[in-house]
Amino acid sequence: MATLAGHRGRRSKNPLAVEDAIAGWVFILPAVTIFVMFIFGPILYAFYTSFFDRSTLGNRNEYVGTANYREILFDNPDFWQAFRNTTWFTIGVVPTQTAIGLILAVLANRKIRGKTFFRTAFYFPSISSSVVISVIFLWMYQRNGLIDFAVTKLGFPRPEPVWMNNPNGVVGSFLGLFGWDNVPAWLEGPSVALLSIMMLNIWTTAGTMMVIFLAGLQDVPGDVYEAASLDGASRWRQFRDITVPLIRPVTLFVTTVGMIGTFQVFDQIFVMTSDGGPNRTTTTMAYLIYQETFKYGSGLGYGSAMAMLLFALILGLFLLQRRLVGQNAL
Amino acid sequence: MALASERLAQPRTAASAEERTGALDGGIKILAYAVLVFVAFLMFVPFLYSIGTSLKTTAEANTLRFSNLFWPENPTSRAYDVIRDTDIGLWFLNSTLVAVVWVVARAIFGAMAGYAFARMTFPGKNIVFLMILSTLMIPSMVTIIPKFMILRELGLLNGYGALTVPFLTDAFGIFLMKQFFESIPKELEEAARVDGASRYRMFLQIILPNAMPAVTALAIFSFQGSWNAFLEPLIFVSNADRYTLPLGLATLKNSYYTDFPVVMAGAVITTLPIALFYLFFQRFFIEGSTSSGIKG
């Protein structure tokens, strides 16, 4: 058998290798063409364009060196405000949705009835259109809407002004309770309006994270837990010392995907806010790129430079996170 | 969870520890159920609320009581009558056309590329695959401006071309197909090889017919992606007769800001097709997502 296979392999290997060298490229050609035209090409083109002053209609096109970058970084306070908003958004959303996803997964990862139902229910928001979810939440956040109704029935005060029009920083307001007024701008925290969108985001994504964690938990061998419980390890210790370390690669994956998502939040801002307001507190970096390029007429070069900065930021964070959590996991 | 026989075999102290966890287990189980049911409820609330609102009069939509939270006291189809006079039928048709192109193209090109990456050896294979995979982490906002310029050069802006051509293939689909082809037995191809079949015939006659589960999963993901796409259509299309549903819904929100039942009716109509798909094919949705985790 072995000789037969070896013989056949030797005889057919060379023609196959020659055929595959060509056929392989034929098979990937359509996909590669699309990728080159609409992803790799555009990245290089965006990088190139970022050194030009180029109007949206293309009738003005002039090399300006690094002027766009300098203007964004040193002369555009909106950029730093958007950076702050996006950072708060990420800090608030990613750990929360990861923790909720993990807890839900651990709870559902046992022999319980209706596991499929729970998975289906928790994943449903992830497959829905972001615009649909945004208009529904916008409606829920109206004065006397469903959120107001729930908040007042639970005995809490409603925010004034109403959720999506409220520019007050939540961290700043909290510190104000302890008598710390005049909080610096960078510590004001996300506005109530941005927090409202963050809650929407957590609601949408926590289920996705749960489903991914649940798949990861299947790979943790059950006898590890049995051995641990025979040794008298408590549920909490089992979770902390077995579950968490063993699913570390999944956690890295989930937080990476989460961060890439929060750094490009756009649809919700577009649909739910009036142009990134109130007071620009919901202007994310992705939204600012759109605004500058397609609404304010700052030009395609300026917008491209901003997009390059966003890209560099995401790439940097990704590499940093890999280093912190441990490489080879992704 | 421990078996009775195991428990008998344990020394006394261990057995009592087991019993304690056994009792604890029951408590945790009830708590787990309570949490899961509550969260599942939270997941449905916004959708139930939107359906309920779409059946209310404007006046009732603005006065919430416990009795009419999710179902109106006086159900009316008014919002749906109003929305019928908008362009929503056209948007629905556009969304459907675009979805068909996405689904067919992504299934074919994804299967082709996935097969090549899984089973063939050719120069540049690994680097090309890695480059394609790395695009999963490139935000669409980074490439949207040059895409806009390229589509304008090609004369595709504002047409169906802009809604379809840049999306004819996707990294996730290629990855999914590659994973699948790596798992099917090589013997299938070897038999064909003996008959002297070329790679192309092998792919069409043997590989593709056997790849239907993966192709279905990819098709469903593509449908979801196209149905929900928003940023690109927003930038690439400016005339309302090429709008897709999400784009239409976003404009509907502006024109009916004081009549939200109409907007909610639009939300219901947009969600219905994807919800039905999800109910029938949820296995594919969830299994696909666990191998990628990327939300479309």
Residue A110 amino acid letter: R
Is B92 touching A (CB cutoff 8 A)?
A: no
Backbone angles phi, psi at A169, to 5 degrees: -70, 130
Q: Tell whether the model's pLDDT for residue A37 goes beyond 50.
A: yes
Q: Is there a domain that residue B81 lies in? A: no
Domain with B209 in it: what CATH number?
1.10.3720.10
Interface of A with B in 21-50 (CB under 8 A): 21-28, 30-32, 34-35, 37-43, 45-46, 49
Same domain, B98 and B64: no
Q: Is there a domain that residue B243 lies in? A: yes
pLDDT tens, position by position, B13-47 = 444 444 445 556 677 788 888 999 999 999 999 99
Question: What does the mean pLDDT of chain B come to?
Answer: 86
Same domain, B90 and B223: yes
CA distances from A263 to A287, A310, B191 (A): 10, 8, 50
Quote the DSSP letter at residue A63: E
**pLDDT tier at B284, thresholds 50, 70, 90:** confident
pLDDT tens, position by position, A99-158 = 999 999 988 887 778 888 888 889 899 899 999 999 999 999 999 999 999 999 999 999
Is B115 touching A (CB cutoff 8 A)?
A: yes
pLDDT of residue B98: 97
Same domain, B211 and B151: yes
Q: Tell whether the model's pLDDT for residue B10 goes beyond 50.
A: no
| Helix, strand, coil percentages for chain A (3-state, nearest 5) | 75, 0, 25
pLDDT of residue A7: 44
Backbone angles phi, psi at A52, to 5 degrees: -120, 155
Domain boundary among B13, B41, B76: B76
Q: Which candidate from B45, B135, B203 shows the least CB-CB separation from A39?
A: B135
C-alpha B122: how far from chain center: 33
Same domain, B163 and B277: yes
Q: Which candidate from B39, B45, B231 shows the least CB-CB separation from A266?
A: B231
Same domain, B155 and B265: yes
Chain B residue closest in CA terms to A215: B290
**pLDDT tier at A245, thresholds 50, 70, 90:** confident
Provide, as residue numbers in chain A, all residues whose Cβ is less than 8 Å from the Cβ of B285.
123, 127
Same domain, B117 and B68: no
**pLDDT tier at A95, thresholds 50, 70, 90:** very high
Q: What is the mean pLDDT of the segment spanning B123-141? A: 92
Q: Is there a domain that residue B226 lies in? A: yes
Contact A24 B116 (CB under 8 A): yes
Contact A30 B43 (CB under 8 A): no
pLDDT of residue B283: 75
Same domain, B108 and B255: yes
The span from the CA of B108 to the CA of B223, in Å, is 14
Higher pLDDT, A37 or A253: A37
Is A10 touching B (CB cutoff 8 A)?
A: no
Q: What is the mean pLDDT of the segment spanning A161-167? A: 94
Tokens of B24: 């604890």
Helix (H, G, I), strand (E, B) or coil at A53: strand
Same domain, B118 and B186: yes
pLDDT of residue A224: 82
Domain boundary among B30, B56, B76: B76
Q: Which residues pair with A174 in a beta bridge?
A: none
Is B134 touching A (CB cutoff 8 A)?
A: no
Q: Which candidate from B36, B139, B282 shows the least CB-CB separation from A260?
A: B139
Range B22-37 burial, b when 16+ CB lie within 10 A, else e = eeebeeeeeebbeebe
Q: Tell whether the model's pLDDT for residue B8 goes beyond 60.
A: no
User: Which residue range is the domain that position B204 belongs to?
Assistant: 86-292
Q: What is the mean pLDDT of the segment spanning B170-198? A: 86
Q: Is there a domain that residue B106 lies in? A: yes
Question: H or E segment at B22?
Answer: helix B12-54
Kindly tell me the sign of the dihedral angle through the C-alpha atoms of A144, A146, A148, A149.
positive
Interface of A with B in 232-291 (CB under 8 A): 232, 235, 253-254, 256-257, 260-261, 263-264, 266-267, 270-271, 285-286, 289-290
Same domain, B146 and B64: no
pLDDT tens, position by position, A252-272 = 889 988 998 999 999 999 999
pLDDT of residue A14: 58
Nearest to A234 by CA among B42, B146, B24, B94: B24
**pLDDT tier at B5, thresholds 50, 70, 90:** very low
Same domain, B69 and B93: no
Closest approach of chain A CAs to the CA of B142, in angstroms?
Answer: 5
Comparing A145-159, B189-203, B280-294, the range with the smallest average pLDDT is B280-294
pLDDT of residue A46: 94
Q: Judge if ipTM > 0.90.
A: no
Tokens of A268: 């919700």
Domains in chain A (CATH in brackets) are 2-43 (no CATH), 68-131+192-325 (1.10.3720.10)
Q: How many domains does chain B have?
A: 2
C-alpha B110: how far from chain center: 16
Domain boundary among B47, B76, B105: B76
Q: Tell whether the model's pLDDT for residue B4 goes beyond 60.
A: no
Backbone angles phi, psi at A155, to 5 degrees: 90, 15
Is B140 touching A (CB cutoff 8 A)?
A: yes
Closest approach of chain B CAs to the CA of A164, in angstroms?
Answer: 14
Contact A112 B29 (CB under 8 A): yes
Same domain, B113 and B143: yes
Same domain, B69 and B188: no
